[in-house]
């Protein structure tokens, strides 16, 4: 069954979101501070990147970071946060996970994002998430088995996905984000009790207020993460012979599972240099 939009699966998908940006995950811990002490009343004077890496993971982390920074886009995004005027971006590593997440967002009284945390799993050099929601990361899998890419490149792609989340959340009004945190559990509760009827006027009303139903909100965020992962790969594999094969695989998955979001991926494909461009349409 290729459809991912069966009503009965909506809640289940939302509950098993891989990334900590899901509204469900945020609900559990919405206002915990990032490791630097930043309060709403006292915004950080200066931002920057704070790397909190256990020594046993330091070597592999440096390899992932070097891979990310080897691209123009990775370096530009890193530098933007390293010299950010007010946002403190914390990067940490969790043991025994092949996934990554972002969250612990905080805003100052002016509505500016002042804290965010990216948590990388210690095993992110392995593991490919499903092509349904992760058309970019998933597309790398056959290239690793052919030894055309290595684990560091997969890890850097996952880091780029999380940077995509942080960049996107910076553009979401705090009021909307807070409303989503508040109303997504309400939506889910009604959804589970009304026979999974998404046309229930109460659910339609909530969805209008928070910019979609919980799964739509979640998948939109994930596809923004994937768009940034694609931006990283665009630069990283620009001169590799398998470049167009990789983009073709991404395109195939986007067309199959993320048609409503195709434009953001197509834009990136079209932004390649003329010499290395491959057809998207």
Q: Which residues bind Zn ion (CB under 5 A)?
A: 19, 222, 225
End-to-end CA separation in angstroms for the chain: 26
Sequence-distant (≥ 6) Cβ neighbours of residue 6 within 8 angstroms: none
Using the minimum distance from each CB to Zn ion, give the nearer residue, 19 or 156.
19
Using the minimum distance from each CB to Zn ion, give the nearer residue, 165 or 243.
165
Contact 68, 160 (CB under 8 A): yes
Smallest gap from Cβ 218 to Zn ion, in A, equals: 9
Contact 157, 227 (CB under 8 A): no
- Whole-angstrom Cα distance, residue 139 to residue 250? 6
113-121 sheet: strands from edge to edge:
48-52, 88-94, 113-121, 100-107
Using the minimum distance from each CB to Zn ion, give the nearer residue, 125 or 226.
226
Smallest gap from Cβ 172 to Zn ion, in A, equals: 15
- What is the token pair recorded at 43? 């915004």
Smallest gap from Cβ 37 to Zn ion, in A, equals: 27
Residue with tokens 């620009």: 238
Using the minimum distance from each CB to Zn ion, give the nearer residue, 20 or 203.
20
Smallest gap from Cβ 185 to Zn ion, in A, equals: 20
Using the minimum distance from each CB to Zn ion, give the nearer residue, 135 or 225.
225
- Whole-angstrom Cα distance, residue 103 to residue 17? 13
Q: Which run of H or E residues covers position 186?
A: helix 174-193
Using the minimum distance from each CB to Zn ion, give the nearer residue, 100 or 203.
100
Smallest gap from Cβ 193 to Zn ion, in A, equals: 29
Smallest gap from Cβ 170 to Zn ion, in A, equals: 15
Q: By beta-carbon distance, which residue lies closest to Zn ion?
A: 19
């Amino acid at each position: 069954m290729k459809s991912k939009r069966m009503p009965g699966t909506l809640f289940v998908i939302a509950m098993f979101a891989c990334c900590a940006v899901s509204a469900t995950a945020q609900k559990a811990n919405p206002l915990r501070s990032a490791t630097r002490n930043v309060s709403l009343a006292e915004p950080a004077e200066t931002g920057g990147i704070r790397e909190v890496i256990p020594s046993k993971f330091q070597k592999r982390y440096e390899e992932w970071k070097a891979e990310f920074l080897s691209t123009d886009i990775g370096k530009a995004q890193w530098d933007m946060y390293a010299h950010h005027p007010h946002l403190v971006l914390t990067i940490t590593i969790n043991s025994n996970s092949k996934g990554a997440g972002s969250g612990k967002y905080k805003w100052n009284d002016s509505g500016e994002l002042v804290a965010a945390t990216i948590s990388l799993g210690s095993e992110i050099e392995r593991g490919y998430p499903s092509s349904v929601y992760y058309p970019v990361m998933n597309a790398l899998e056959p290239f690793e088995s052919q030894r055309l890419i290595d684990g560091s490149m997969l890890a850097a792609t996952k880091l780029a996905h999380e940077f995509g989340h942080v960049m996107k959340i910076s553009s979401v009004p705090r009021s909307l984000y807070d409303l989503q945190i508040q109303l997504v559990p309400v939506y889910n509760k009604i959804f589970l009790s009304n026979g999974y009827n998404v046309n229930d006027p109460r659910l339609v009303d909530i969805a209008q207020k928070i910019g979609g139903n919980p799964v739509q909100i979640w998948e939109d965020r994930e596809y923004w993460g994937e768009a940034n992962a694609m931006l990283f790969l665009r630069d990283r594999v620009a001169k590799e012979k398998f470049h167009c094969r990789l983009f073709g695989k991404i395109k195939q998955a986007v067309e199959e599972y993320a048609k409503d979001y195709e434009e953001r991926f197509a834009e990136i494909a079209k932004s390649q240099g003329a010499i290395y461009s491959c057809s998207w349409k």
